[in-house]
A and B are shown apart, each in its own frame.
Chain A
């Protein structure tokens, strides 16, 4: 698959425009624009500013880009909330965007050195010298995306970290594939029922319409998925391309406003961001991130699992989500890793990722954190529920969790 039709800033602009268009305020009235993005295009330095200007926010609205790997979109929301709570801002457009298909292909360090020598060569002899030292290996491309998905500290790819934690709880291939199939089925059902009405259609310059996430496979089955070879640990692993999140392009936005701004601009309120927690853990077990972030969040708010109506845990890997469920419910884990006396409890899978997740609709890394928060609010709205937690695991060994409420 080659690069998609949209660069990260294109996706962000297309997604934000209808959101701004249906508000009563004008884009220049925003106090700030914050975007999470891991791999902006080379022409999109501080992509938030590019997006803000393209959206017509004008010269005077500041904009900045945040990066917390897979949680960049959630970080943008948290940064916006922080600015509003501190009283510095009242109205902020925050979200995330990623065009994984546009991830650059790089030259190796050796090739780069050769190119530098070529540029420095002053005469024919020197140029010929550079050409003479050219070897086929110099033309081998380096895929930035794969480098980005490998932890440089522990030397494991993200998929391998999922192998680590699913092995720890003995989650087998069948369990992973069953979970993946369910994600597809849930998404297909939600799409058919029109529950993803936060999605905006896109049109590219070739007149092609993109009006839904096309990674969904409604006909997916455990039998079909069983045929795939493990992708990361090819011989003994369980994590396959099909029970991992899809590498896709996407953007998601929310508007954050103070009470004052809600009243001033007559904003329709989807929900309230109550609290956020970030956590760090062993990079080799980064998939447990949601457990490490959600636990202190709920403890601080004196909430137990019964009081959470719906959960969104980003589906980086089926085995990783399942491992999180097990860890929450594991007294040993909760005592040793989280310093609790008892287990947190068992998440009811009927309340978790009810409309599917990244396995079915993709994980454009920079945007996923914002997307699950937005969709969680939509779930609460559609099901007339009150409280939800969105949590995400973060490559490099972190977790993020947000508690939202509707009144």
Chain B
């Protein structure tokens, strides 16, 4: 875009758009959101686009190419910050209708229009691109296209539901919009979302060729078009609805169901479908699920943004201990671009980690040369050669204070003085380990959750001793490997394990009192948890649950359930030994041939739900009161991204507020009378 043959066209008072005319009378309209590193389609940006399109039309060009001046990509979608101002459905519909007319105007320009896409092209950004007649995109790794709206509890609203189906056919378009998954340019070309995926070096030439040659617009094949036929729609919608129902319930996540309804009813009539899309999105935007998801999204962004570290970006990570956690942390860091050395006592301890890493790399990276260089970034280190060069050293050996103390004192002697020394301990107080260091202020906790590649949250643990600069750098490193850093104070169980533990233990107690495991788990799932507490305990590993339970018991009192001890001493450790609270076949819960479980009355289900949830909420409040984390928002975002707490509920504190603090306290009181002091309300409730 730095071509000197282009002359700027003045756009009065526009801060976010730039317009150039090239020697062939083709206009280049660039989006460049002022003061931001990423383009978003805020209402101001869209208003300015109106003006810019006026200018474009007045210039009577041969064609229009829309591009982004940002390195990060084309555009990341609508401005999520504006979502919470949209309180009124009719008002929101009006605003969306305006965007629809604007995009229709672009679509109907009398000359060819081409979106020239690189990097992120998401949601509203993709919908803007789809309003152009053609899309060409960079085929590099950084290019990601998709409709992530569903993850915020809504569906595309700037005409995407109409245009995506028009270009890709219903099956592919619905899949993109229902799952929110992002695709690279080659995939996008295959499914018709864009015209061409080309290498960076040809991106401009490809965009220009679509202007010069005035090519036909892309259309899906006959069979794909047939799926949208009036007779086929009800069938396709029903099949798809059944698929969706396997993943989410309509009362939890209405957006995918609304999208399917919209498509089924109006796909035959685009002129109706645009206003109906607007109304459907407007209704979803004000729904509690969307409000909660949007809030969490912003909190999540906040966690990433909070870190301002001037220190040099880490590039070399050294991991000591190649067990499940250590090995997976190492593989993840390599996948995210770090050079990683993975150390253990002997090659055979590292070998399984290398095998798992190879599997992860194969799944995630398809291009041969990228996989080769990725594989080379993860180095098995038999002699600790990596210690001296590492920017970050992460210890993930057995949970044994003495072993860790010895290791850190050896690491400190060889590590660079500015290297971060981090422990992945989940249970040992930082100060106990740090006292073996000459400089105990260096030690920080970087606590990952299993499985590392799925769990976004990482607890950054500090003690009173820990140097604040080290904590900041540890958090910056966490962000650099695309994980969410949550700062938490070093106290038994930190945040996640401590809050989860009473919830898991209550499930175990209920089991001991005669309820069935599947029954208990079903109640939690109908609340919106991704898996029930007993399945979660099995997944984490019952030995680990017991270990955490004992540490928490020692610190805060309370008994570890008998059944947990029983399972562990019998070697039934959960998923990894194929049996625990459930039996597993090929990693899935074995179907039991039991008499149909008694159908619980609504009140009984609510009791089970509250017996599970209230201890969790109560512990969360205790953590807040003790200052384990700084505020309630952090508890919500942490439990959602670190423990899978039902996202549409907005997190435990948000949920408690929605139900009413008084109501929660009343229920706690009742349970305390019935079951004893473990339900005693934490004093912190009164501060909420």
Contact = CB atoms under 8 A, between A and B. Distances in A.
Interface in A197-236: 200-201, 203-209, 211
A206 B376 contact: no
Nearest to A20: B385
Query: What is the interface residue range for chain B against chain A?
Result: 20 to 34
A350 interface: no
A13 interface: yes
Contact of B354 (A200, A205, A211): A205
A56 interface: yes
B355 A54 contact: no
Interface string B351-383: 110111010000000000000110110011111
Interface string A44-62: 0000000000111000000
A118 to B, nearest CB: 26
Given A21-B381, A22-B383, A201-B382, A207 B354 contact: yes
Nearest to A50: B372
Contacts of B358: 205-206
A209 B373 contact: no
B385 A54 contact: no
A301 to B, nearest CB: 37
Nearest to B349: A209
A207 B372 contact: no
Interface string A169-201: 000000000000000000000000000000011
B339 A203 contact: no
Contacts of B381: 21
Contact of B380 (A13, A54, A203, A206): A203
A346 interface: no
A18 interface: yes
A151 to B, nearest CB: 36
B350 interface: yes
A207 B352 contact: yes
A264 B8 CA distance: 55
A200 B381 CA distance: 10
Contacts of A208: 351
A375 to B, nearest CB: 20
B485 interface: no
B271 interface: no
B355 A18 contact: no
Contacts of A201: 347, 380, 382
B386 interface: yes
Contacts of B269: none
A168 interface: no
Given A18-B385, A22-B385, A56-B339, A203 B379 contact: no
Interface in A101-148: none
Contacts of B454: none
Interface in A13-33: 13, 17-18, 21-22
| Residue with the highest number of chain B CB atoms closer than 10 Å, among A13, A22, A201 | A201
Contacts of B339: 56
A341 B380 CA distance: 56
B348 interface: yes
Nearest to A7: B372
A209 B351 contact: yes
Contacts of A22: 383, 385
B375 to A, nearest CB: 8
B322 to A, nearest CB: 10
A55 B354 CA distance: 18
Nearest to A13: B376
B354 A203 contact: yes
B347 A207 contact: no
Contacts of A200: 382
Contacts of A204: 354
A17 B339 CA distance: 13
Given A18-B385, A21-B386, A203 B347 contact: yes
Contacts of A205: 354-355, 358, 375
Contacts of B372: 54
Interface string A324-364: 00000000000000000000000000000000000000000
A18 B352 contact: no
B383 A18 contact: yes
A208 to B, nearest CB: 7
Contacts of A203: 347, 350-351, 354, 380
Nearest to B372: A54
Nearest to B362: A205
A18 B382 contact: yes
Nearest to A200: B382
A22 B389 CA distance: 10
Contact of A209 (B347, B356, B383, B385): B347
Contacts of B380: 201, 203
Given A54-B372, A203-B380, A205-B354, A211 B385 contact: no
A222 B383 CA distance: 40
A209 B379 contact: no
A178 B470 CA distance: 65
A283 to B, nearest CB: 38
A206 B352 CA distance: 8
Contacts of B352: 207
Given A18-B382, A21-B386, A56-B339, A209 B355 contact: no
B347 A54 contact: no
Interface in A249-289: none
A205 B360 CA distance: 11
Interface in B327-355: 339, 341, 347-348, 350-352, 354-355
Contacts of A55: 376
Contacts of B356: 207
A54 B377 CA distance: 9
Contact of A54 (B351, B373, B383): B373
B386 A54 contact: no
Contacts of B386: 21
A13 B348 CA distance: 20
Contact of B379 (A17, A206, A207, A211): A17
A18 B347 CA distance: 13
| Residue with the highest number of chain B CB atoms closer than 10 Å, among A18, A203, A205, A209 | A203
Contacts of A18: 382-383, 385
Given A21-B385, A201-B382, A54 B376 contact: yes
A3 to B, nearest CB: 17
A136 B341 CA distance: 51
Nearest to A22: B385
Nearest to B339: A56
A210 to B, nearest CB: 9
A207 B351 contact: yes
Contact of A207 (B355, B382, B383, B389): B355
Contacts of A17: 379
A242 B358 CA distance: 36
Contacts of A54: 372-373, 376
Nearest to A26: B389
Contacts of B355: 205-207
A207 to B, nearest CB: 3
Contacts of A207: 351-352, 354-356
Interface string B217-253: 0000000000000000000000000000000000000
| Residue with the highest number of chain A CB atoms closer than 10 Å, among B348, B351, B382 | B351
A55 B376 CA distance: 8
Given A21-B381, A21-B386, 9 more contacts: A17-B379, A21-B379, A54-B376, A203-B354, A203-B380, A204-B354, A205-B354, A206-B358, A211-B347
29 contacts: A18-B382, A18-B385, A21-B341, A21-B379, A21-B381, A21-B385, A21-B386, A21-B389, A22-B383, A54-B372, A54-B373, A54-B376, A56-B339, A56-B376, A200-B382, A201-B347, A201-B380, A201-B382, A203-B347, A203-B350, A203-B380, A204-B354, A205-B355, A207-B351, A207-B355, A207-B356, A208-B351, A209-B347, A209-B348
Interface of B: 339, 341, 347-348, 350-352, 354-356, 358, 372-373, 375-376, 379-383, 385-386, 389
Question: What are the 6 A-B residue pairs with the smallest beta carbon separation, nearest first?
Answer: A207-B355, A21-B385, A205-B358, A201-B347, A207-B351, A209-B347
